[in-house]
Chain A
Amino acid sequence: MNELLRRLLFLPPQASRMAEDIDGLHYFVILATMFASSLVGVVAWTFIVRFRQRTNRDATVRVESTLAFEVPMIVGVLSLFLLWWVIGFRQFLRISTPPPNTLDIYVAAKQWMWKFSYTEGPSAVERLTVPAGRPVRLIMTSRDVIHSLYIPALRLKQDVIPGRYVTMWFTADRPGTYPIYCAEYCGVSHSRMRGELVVLSDEDYGVWLANSEAQAVASRDLGGPAPPSDSNLTSVGQAVAVHRACFACHTIDGQRHIGPTWRGLYDSSVKLTDGRTVIADEAYLTKSMMEPRADIVDGFNPVMPSYHALLTEPETAALVEFIKSLRDVPTASGVALPKVETGP
């Protein structure tokens, strides 16, 4: 039944369980729409034939609706709409709320390409490779105008906005290759801003990851585009922090310096001078690098310059990943905290 309706309605293959659930509501809504409009058409046509005009001066009797007719009609239609809303909104909550322990992949959009960076090091243009059956979270930003990452096979789409980190999560269940489109008009080559989602089985993903890391090393040996000295994103972030002299003001051992320490910062709640309290998530960390004066932490002076033009997207992502590695709660895999020389 699912397969038949899916093909009849030209829907793409369902790469996730969620896509299948959303399609269930889709069938319900579209079939009801077709039924209702046909019903109105048939009833109107029946009336046109049944009550066709004899002479153009015919008199007719006065017929008026009554509340007894109107109220059930309105309640009926409204309940149908609200039922759709309830089912749809529950699904919307699910697709908006990522589970803990997702595999995080950083996405940078620019006119007109997608770049996917993995915390383990490799990055890829236009091809997003993920393991099947594992929840994946995309942490996305744009370097220029608004784009929108659209994966029809997952029934998912999220606008990617400059100056903000937005997230989208999914668990792709069926290995395969599925198209990725940009869905927000972004200029002359908008329709060429496509990519593909490659869903691999867990073993294949491991092999792919190892190969990609090896390739990254190989391209460095060949003198290709200089990747940072270590292919692990956390170490890259640490190198960036040294290079940009972040440690002139921030510590990573919990001590107070010119700026707040990074130790345990990620995911903590931070009190600001204007009284607000924010959660130090990826969006907050990025914003603090780009617009440091927007959110001043209580008890500190607004002295940090903006790194807007100084940090590239991968560097920003790497820094965020480094700060995340400094949270007090050990990460799932229990990696040891990196040791850092704070420089001269």
Chain B
Amino acid sequence: MSATTPGLIPQGGALSLPPTFVNDDESIRSWLLTTDHKRVGILFFVATALMMALGGAFALVLRIEHLTPERTIVDALAYNRLFTMHGVVMVFLFMIPAIPGAFGNFLVPIMIGAKDVAFPRLNIASFYLYFVGAVVVLIAMQAGGLDTGWTFYTPYSVQSPSAVVPTLMGLFIVGWSSILTGLNFIVTVHTMRAKGLGWMRMPLFVWSIYGTSIIQVLATPVLGLAVALVAIDHGFDWGLFDPARGGDPVLFQHLFWFYSHPAVYIMILPAMGVVSEVVCTFCRKNPFSYRAIVYSTLGIAFVGFLTWGHHMFVAGLSVFDAGAFGILSMLVGIFSAIKVFTWVGTMYRGSIAFKTPLLYVFTFLFLFVFGGMTGIAVATTSLDVHWHDTYFVVAHFHFIMVGGTLTAYFAGLHYWFPKVTGKLYSERWGLLAAALVSAGFFVTFFPQFLLGNAGMPRRYYDYPPEYQTLHVISTVGSWVLASGMLITVGYLFWALKSGQDAGNNPWHSASYEWLTRSPPPPHNFDDTPVFASDPYDYTETGATQR
């Protein structure tokens, strides 16, 4: 359609336009009861984006509180509840479901030439499990006040008089959503690929979602087990973690991190998939090494299960265990380093379009290397003893989770915005917002490394006055970061309403999701798709076709 006269398509003359998944049936009922993976993806996107806004608002209050060493705007109890809610909302309700639930749902079936995921009804059920779980968690935390931190360490969480049990019940439900989404993707990738689409030609984003799904299916049950044990102990006083009755308070940490360390890879692997796609499209290049990215994805998914102990170097782990977990953690670092080499190598001799998604990827590369290598640093046993539970660790995982995953999320959001909506956003505003987000991020979190070096423990409401300068810089940075995000919300809404028509393939990408119309038709393809080309072919023969 866009091949004719973009922008001049009469709104009323729908007769000439083939239906898209958006306008095929516009009733609210059809959206809420949909089994279309694209609509489920958008439901996930809206819900997780709201959670990001909520978690971000908590973070802004936390940062304002730290403008002064003593009380600034909230009291100690409120502060403890706020950092707990920030952590729980961001980790469980935004980071983990965001990219697989939204981008993964929308794109994986299209990228492999399927009409939908393998179990469409399970897919919408997965969304509603997430929705119900999230509501339970939010109500419990609001009404009952949870102050255990998102890590729920026993025995504090067992003794805390707050709403521990309902919050954990909510997370238990959300966990089911995660498992079912993962299961659905695994079966979809195995059984629904179009004719001729072999494993080693799948788009790299599909590989990353596949690797993530494996972790989700294998690790999430352990989280369910751990939170269920805490809930039972809290509710029925079984003494599972009470040493006076033969329980072990440290057992919980093993169970919790057995899930929550792989969960870090649930959060970063999809982001890596987004980066792989964006780099190739905006550099118009084949990946520097396709197989290196694939094998390192699987490597991370596997070794990620064997590193949980590096969260417990000072928790009474044996010296031998600490050394073993340290060395295994370095292996995960190697897989990530391989990916970074490959992305930078892909840029070499490319044709690089400096657009918003690429600026985000540039930020990603710098922050991810910094955040990743500080991860190796904290896995270095003797150094971790000083850094553990300080702001250094806070800065490290925010470099990975915000500097890594969130920048990749924004890169993907801009890259696929025309695919999903058929509209173009303003590139000028996009670049401005990306620059603000990148700079704001750095100003917010770099000082936190120095705070950690100086010995500032995390989860401190009051702090010694010598830390104030760095805290103030960090807080100012959070305002720059927030302004960049607000601008993004503004111009994306504007683009949705009155943006320019994007055409089917505004980036002239070779990847499979652009083979169909934008927005895609209800069943993804007008004709049976033929995936004869390489999704990253930008040579003379490949590029001229687009």
A residues within 8 Å of B by Cβ? Answer: 9-12, 22, 25-26, 29-30, 32-34, 36-38, 40-41, 43-45, 47-48, 51-54, 56-65, 70, 73-74, 77-78, 81-82, 84-85, 87-93, 95-97, 144-146, 148, 150, 152-153, 155-159, 161-164, 166, 179, 181-192, 290-291, 294, 306, 308
A251 to B443, CA, bound (A): 66
Within 8 A of A (CB), among B290-336: 292, 313-316, 319, 322-323, 326-327, 330, 333-334
Q: Which residue in chain A gives the minimum CB-CB distance to B81?
A: A188
Residues of A within 8 Å of B350, CB to CB, are 47, 51, 60
Known contacts A32-B373, A59-B539, A308-B244: A22-B386 contact under CB 8 Å: yes
- Selecting from B110-118, B281-289, B421-429, the interface stretch reads B281-289
Does B225 have its Cβ within 8 Å of any Cβ on chain A?
no
- Interface pair A88/B464, CB less than 8 Å apart: no
Residues of B within 8 Å of A10, CB to CB, are 450-451, 453-454, 470
A78 to B160, CA, bound (A): 44
Known contacts A186-B156, A189-B76: A64-B288 contact under CB 8 Å: yes
Q: Which residue in chain A gives the minimum CB-CB distance to B313?
A: A92
- Interface pair B544/A59, CB less than 8 Å apart: yes
- Interface pair A150/B455, CB less than 8 Å apart: yes
- Interface pair A93/B462, CB less than 8 Å apart: no
Residues of A within 8 Å of B342, CB to CB, are 65
Q: How far is the CB of A187 from chain B (nearest CB, A)?
A: 6
- Interface pair A78/B334, CB less than 8 Å apart: yes
- Interface pair B243/A164, CB less than 8 Å apart: yes
A74 to B352, CA, bound (A): 27
- Interface pair B149/A51, CB less than 8 Å apart: no
Residues of A within 8 Å of B348, CB to CB, are 47, 51, 63
- Interface pair B460/A51, CB less than 8 Å apart: no
Does B23 have its Cβ within 8 Å of any Cβ on chain A?
no
- Interface pair A93/B319, CB less than 8 Å apart: yes
**Which of A88, A163, A188 is B383 in contact with, Cβ under 8 Å?**
A88
Residues of B within 8 Å of A45, CB to CB, are 362
Interface residues on B, range: 35 or more
A29 to B326, CA, bound (A): 15
A148 to B350, CA, bound (A): 52
Residues of A within 8 Å of B463, CB to CB, are 191
**Which of B250, B289, B323, B540 is A92 in contact with, Cβ under 8 Å?**
B323
Does B377 have its Cβ within 8 Å of any Cβ on chain A?
yes
- Interface pair A57/B544, CB less than 8 Å apart: yes
Q: How far is the CB of B314 from chain A (nearest CB, A)?
A: 5
A36 to B156, CA, bound (A): 40
B372-411 vs A, Cβ < 8 Å mask (1 yes, 0 no): 0110110111110110111000000000000000000000
- Interface pair B334/A81, CB less than 8 Å apart: yes
Residues of A within 8 Å of B76, CB to CB, are 188-189, 191
Within 8 A of A (CB), among B338-362: 338, 340-342, 344-345, 347-354, 358, 362
**Which of B153, B326, B460 is A85 in contact with, Cβ under 8 Å?**
B326
- Interface pair B337/A77, CB less than 8 Å apart: yes
Q: List 6 A-B contacts (CB under 8 A).
A: A11-B453, A33-B373, A70-B289, A185-B458, A186-B156, A190-B80
- Interface pair A47/B385, CB less than 8 Å apart: no
Q: How far is the CB of B244 from chain A (nearest CB, A)?
A: 5
Q: Which residue in chain A gives the minimum CB-CB distance to B381?
A: A92
Does B155 have its Cβ within 8 Å of any Cβ on chain A?
yes
**Which of B77, B283, B461, B538 is A51 in contact with, Cβ under 8 Å?**
B283
Residues of A within 8 Å of B344, CB to CB, are 40, 43-44, 47
**Which of A12, A36, A63, A95 is B385 in contact with, Cβ under 8 Å?**
A95
A328 to B221, CA, bound (A): 52
- Interface pair A181/B455, CB less than 8 Å apart: yes
Q: How far is the CB of B507 from chain A (nearest CB, A)?
A: 8
Q: Knowing that A89-B326, A191-B460 are A-B contacts, what are 4 other residue pairs whose CB atoms are under 8 Å apart, sorted by A's residue number? A: A10-B450, A45-B362, A58-B543, A60-B285
- Interface pair B386/A185, CB less than 8 Å apart: no
Q: Which residue in chain B gives the minimum CB-CB distance to A149?
A: B314
Q: Which residue in chain A gives the minimum CB-CB distance to B455?
A: A152
Residues of B within 8 Å of A150, CB to CB, are 389, 455, 457
- Interface pair A92/B386, CB less than 8 Å apart: no
B228-264 vs A, Cβ < 8 Å mask (1 yes, 0 no): 0000000000000011101001100000000000000
Does B508 have its Cβ within 8 Å of any Cβ on chain A?
yes
Residues of A within 8 Å of B525, CB to CB, are none
**Which of A44, A179, A291 is B244 in contact with, Cβ under 8 Å?**
A291
- Interface pair B284/A58, CB less than 8 Å apart: yes
A90 to B80, CA, bound (A): 37
A58, A61, A158, A185 interface centre (most CB from chain B within 10 Å) = A185
A158 to B389, CA, bound (A): 11
Q: How far is the CB of B68 from chain A (nearest CB, A)?
A: 13
Does B169 have its Cβ within 8 Å of any Cβ on chain A?
no
Residues of A within 8 Å of B242, CB to CB, are 163
- Interface pair A159/B347, CB less than 8 Å apart: no
- Interface pair B354/A159, CB less than 8 Å apart: no
A65 to B285, CA, bound (A): 13
Known contacts A57-B544, A92-B382: A183-B316 contact under CB 8 Å: no
- Interface pair B80/A188, CB less than 8 Å apart: yes
**Which of A34, A47, A51, A145 is B159 in contact with, Cβ under 8 Å?**
A145
B77, B348, B455, B542 interface centre (most CB from chain A within 10 Å) = B455
B442-475 vs A, Cβ < 8 Å mask (1 yes, 0 no): 0000000011011101111111100000100000
A125 to B330, CA, bound (A): 41
A36 to B365, CA, bound (A): 11
Does B132 have its Cβ within 8 Å of any Cβ on chain A?
no
Q: How far is the CB of A284 from chain B (nearest CB, A)?
A: 14
A57 to B353, CA, bound (A): 11
Residues of A within 8 Å of B341, CB to CB, are 65, 70, 73
Residues of B within 8 Å of A85, CB to CB, are 323, 326-327, 330, 379-381
Residues of B within 8 Å of A48, CB to CB, are 347, 352, 354, 358, 362
**Which of A12, A44, A65, A190 is B362 in contact with, Cβ under 8 Å?**
A44
A118 to B388, CA, bound (A): 28
- Interface pair A92/B319, CB less than 8 Å apart: yes
Does B366 have its Cβ within 8 Å of any Cβ on chain A?
yes
Residues of A within 8 Å of B457, CB to CB, are 150, 181-183, 191
- Interface pair B389/A148, CB less than 8 Å apart: yes
Residues of B within 8 Å of A191, CB to CB, are 76, 457, 459-463
Known contacts A43-B344, A57-B508, A92-B323: A62-B330 contact under CB 8 Å: no
A29 to B373, CA, bound (A): 8
- Interface pair B316/A163, CB less than 8 Å apart: no
A256 to B297, CA, bound (A): 63
A331 to B10, CA, bound (A): 97
A62 to B345, CA, bound (A): 12
- Interface pair B354/A59, CB less than 8 Å apart: no
Q: Which residue in chain B gives the minimum CB-CB distance to A187?
A: B156
A229 to B461, CA, bound (A): 41
Residues of B within 8 Å of A90, CB to CB, are 382
A34 to B449, CA, bound (A): 12
A131 to B316, CA, bound (A): 26
**Which of B77, B147, B315, B366 is A40 in contact with, Cβ under 8 Å?**
B366
- Interface pair B334/A59, CB less than 8 Å apart: no
Residues of B within 8 Å of A183, CB to CB, are 388-390, 457-458
Residues of B within 8 Å of A29, CB to CB, are 373, 376-377, 380, 383
**Which of B148, B250, B327 is A161 in contact with, Cβ under 8 Å?**
B250
- Interface pair A156/B386, CB less than 8 Å apart: yes
Does B546 have its Cβ within 8 Å of any Cβ on chain A?
yes
A26 to B454, CA, bound (A): 13
Residues of A within 8 Å of B250, CB to CB, are 161
Residues of A within 8 Å of B77, CB to CB, are 188
Q: Which residue in chain A gives the minimum CB-CB distance to B250?
A: A161
Q: How far is the CB of B432 from chain A (nearest CB, A)?
A: 18
A60 to B285, CA, bound (A): 6
